[in-house]
Amino acid sequence: MTQTTNQSRFQEAVESIKKGGQQKYHDKSAEQGKMFARTRIERLTDEGSFKEDALFANYLAGDLPADGVITGTALVQGRPVCIMANDSTIKAGSWGARTVEKIIRIQETAEKLRVPMLYLVDSAGARITDQLDMFPNRRGAGRIFHNQVRLSGFIPQVCLLFGPSAAGGAYIPAFCDIVIMVDGNASMYLGSPRMAEKVIGEKVTLEEMGGARMHCSVSGCGDLLAANEEEAIDKAIDYLSYFPSNFTEAVPVKEAVEAVSGNAMSELIPANQNAPFNMYDAIDTLIDKGSFFEIKKLFAPELITGLARLNGKPVGIIANQPKVKGGVLFVDSADKGAKFIQLCDAFGIPLLFLADVPGFMIGTKVERAGIIRHGAKLISAMSSATVPKISVIVRKAYGAGLYAMAGPAFEPDCCIALPSAQIAVMGPEAAVNAVYSNKIQAIEDPKEKIAFVQQKHKEYQEEIDLYRLASELIIDDIVDPDDLRSTLIQRFDYYSTKHIPLPPKKHSVYPV
């Protein structure tokens, strides 16, 4: 009798907790195209693999099932991960004392187990009524971010943003390796539009100020814009397939796939150095078909960054896109490249640089924005990366552009030039103008002037001739574009045992 009562009390409790918040909030979520937090976890994880912690958190409060956050361990494609998921049907997913403690504990579990930590965020922020119990203390919300920083580079940390992440909560995505945002629903902001109007007098919509599309294309706080929640979850699963469970493990290798057939690399590159072409087509000729996982596609598109597989093995690609802004490096592209290189280097993913870059942008606008400081970030990240690095000079590599794209001085394991490559401080037109400007001006006869310029162009071209650079051991190899894929596969295989001991020091001073 007592046994039966105990059993039914337990079952009722579990059932009621697992229902989450009131039905009206579930209905509202569904209207917005949102899944229930538990459904998201089901879709993300292998069937029946989720083991939940602290289901009964704040049970005695009565109206705060699991205290608004679901935490636990599960399998994603057979590999263990730790998960936290806000339940927005309970007080808009806001954080109380036990919410915060649960998040901190699952982070600690992820650290001990050395497995990826996934944050499924959909939360209005702190419960102001509970602030003394969850905001300023040692194990308050600040500890979540402290743990994130501590775990950064140790295990992969992924954020799936399904709804708001407001105020302090906006730092969860900020400290993750990657932020996947659902278009139309996800948002990040420190102060809501209502607060902005009250405090600074600005009238603005949430979508304009902190929407998913804005963050994925303008601020760079988002990495991937998903059309809906299903796509966001599928992308997270796909992303993890390129990463080891922690930095000590080897990257996961998949079955090798041929590159797309069709365009040959040699046919893609225009002879005219100044004419644009589409670098995506070039990437397709090199990587396993269908393996490209692009990061920050909509942000600073003049630099392409993405994960791919070469003969089944993960590689991180950093490529200039001559089709956008001439492939010139800007403030945002430098930032984008720096973060991506750090991500790959942290988890042992080799780096492939595809250079076709006229240099860093010049002019008042970018100087005032600190292009030198931002460029230094990119060069610093690239320079300190110790994973295998191959630099391919596809076409031009001028000025500090050569440096940013892992030029010879930065110890790439190999600097390969295609026959179309041109390496110089600057392009021929600019160089001749810079050196002979006064002389050119002084020549009065127009015919003589043209002849002089042409002669100097010719001399300059000879000076920077690719075979001269190869003869001087500046580049390590010249490769037929159509053999580039096989060359890269072989070379990355040889470089896989690379080990560079670093000088003993705490860390470099990062030029932010």
Partner 1 sequence: MKNIQSTMAGTVLQVLVKAGDQVEAGQAVMMLESMKMEIPVEAETSGTVNVIKVNAGDFVNEGDDLLTLE
Contact status: 327 vs partner 1 (CB under 8 A):
yes
Q: Which of 65, 48, 90 is nearest to 13 (CA)?
A: 65
Out of 104, 170, 259, 328, the only residue in the binding site for partner 1 (CB under 8 A) is 328
CB of 363 to partner 1, least distance (A): 5
The minimum distance between CB 358 and partner 1, in angstroms, equals: 4
Size of interface with partner 1, in residues (CB under 8 A): 20
DSSP track, 195-256: HHHHHH-----HHHHHBHHHIIIII---SEEESSHHHHHHHHHHHHTTS-SSTTSPPP----
Q: Of the listed pieces 106-114, 225-233, 357-365, 502-510, which binds partner 1 according to CB under 8 A?
A: 357-365
**Judged by CB, which is closer to partner 1: 296, or 309?**
296
Rounded to a whole number of angstroms, the minimum distance from the CB of residue 362 to partner 1 is 7
By beta-carbon proximity to partner 1, the closer residue of 215 and 396 is: 396
- Taking CB under 8 A as the rule, does residue 427 contact partner 1? yes
Q: Which of 168, 312, 326, 511 binds partner 1 (CB under 8 A)?
A: 326
Least Cα distance to 157 among 84, 77, 218, 258 occurs for 84
Which of 116, 348, 359, 375 contacts partner 1 by CB under 8 A?
A: 359
Q: Provide the minimum distance between the beta carbon of 332 and partner 1 in the complex, in angstroms, as a whole number.
A: 12
Would you say 333 or 391 has its CB closer to partner 1? 333
Answer yes or no whether residue 375 interacts with partner 1 by CB under 8 A. no
Rounded Cα–Cα distance for residues 221 and 174 (Å): 7
Instruction: Candidates 289, 365, 439, 468: give the one binding partner 1 (CB under 8 A).
Output: 365
Residue 362 makes contact with partner 1 by CB under 8 A: yes
Q: Which member of 323, 370, 440, 511 binds partner 1 (CB under 8 A)? A: 323
Pairing of strands 414-417, 303-310: unpaired
- Told to check if 429 binds partner 1 by CB under 8 A, we report yes
Binding-residue pattern over the window 261 to 290 for partner 1, x denoting contact by CB under 8 A: -------------xxx--------------
To the nearest 10 degrees (0 to 180), the angle between helices 279-286 and 484-495 is: 60
Decide: 371 and 332 in contact? Cβ < 8 Å.
no
Residue 339 is given by DSSP the state H
Cβ-contact 260, 284 below 8 angstroms: yes
Contact call for residue 220 and partner 1 (CB under 8 A): no
Q: Which is nearer to partner 1, 49 or 278 (CB)?
A: 278
* Distance, CA of 256 to CA of 494 (rounded, Å): 17
From 201, 363, 446, 501, residue interacting with partner 1 (rule: CB under 8 A):
363
Among 251, 349, 361, 382, binds partner 1 (CB under 8 A): 361
| Tokens found for residue 306 | 């993405």
Which residues does residue 354 pair with via DSSP β-bridges, in sequence order?
319, 392
**What DSSP character marks residue 413?**
S
Q: Is 324 among the residues that bind partner 1 (CB under 8 A)?
A: yes
Of 135-143, 203-211, 354-362, 481-489: span binding partner 1 (CB under 8 A): 354-362
Residue 358 makes contact with partner 1 by CB under 8 A: yes
Closer by beta carbon to partner 1, 44 or else 331: 331
Nearest alpha-carbon partner for 286 in 306, 253, 308: 308
Q: Which stretch binds partner 1 (CB under 8 A): 65-73, 112-120, 425-433, 434-442?
A: 425-433
Closer by beta carbon to partner 1, 156 or else 358: 358
Shortest spacing between CB 311 and partner 1, in angstroms: 33
Q: Which of the stretches 66-74, 172-180, 323-331, 458-466 binds partner 1 when contact is defined by CB under 8 A?
A: 323-331
User: Where would I find the beta strands (DSSP E) of 240-360?
Assistant: 293-295, 303-310, 313-320, 351-357
The reply to whether 322 sits near partner 1 by the rule CB under 8 A is yes
Helix H or strand E encompassing 41: helix 37-44
Specify whether the backbone of 296 is left (phi greater than 0), alpha (psi in -120 to 50) or beta: left
What are the residues whose beta carbons fall under 8 Å from the beta carbon of 57, sequence distance 6 or more? Answer: 66, 67, 69, 98, 99, 101, 102
Name residues whose C-beta falls within 8 Å of residue 149's C-beta, 6 or more positions apart in sequence.
175
Nearer to partner 1, 174 or 324 (CB): 324
Decide: is 62 part of the binding site for partner 1 (CB under 8 A).
no
Stretch that binds partner 1, among 74-82, 134-142, 151-159, 358-366 (CB under 8 A): 358-366
DSSP at 152: B
Answer yes or no: are the C-beta atoms of 134 and 103 closer than 8 Å.
no
| Cα distance between residue 32 and residue 51, in whole Å | 28
Which residues of the chain form contacts with partner 1 (CB under 8 A)? 274-276, 322-328, 330, 358-359, 361-363, 365, 427, 429-430
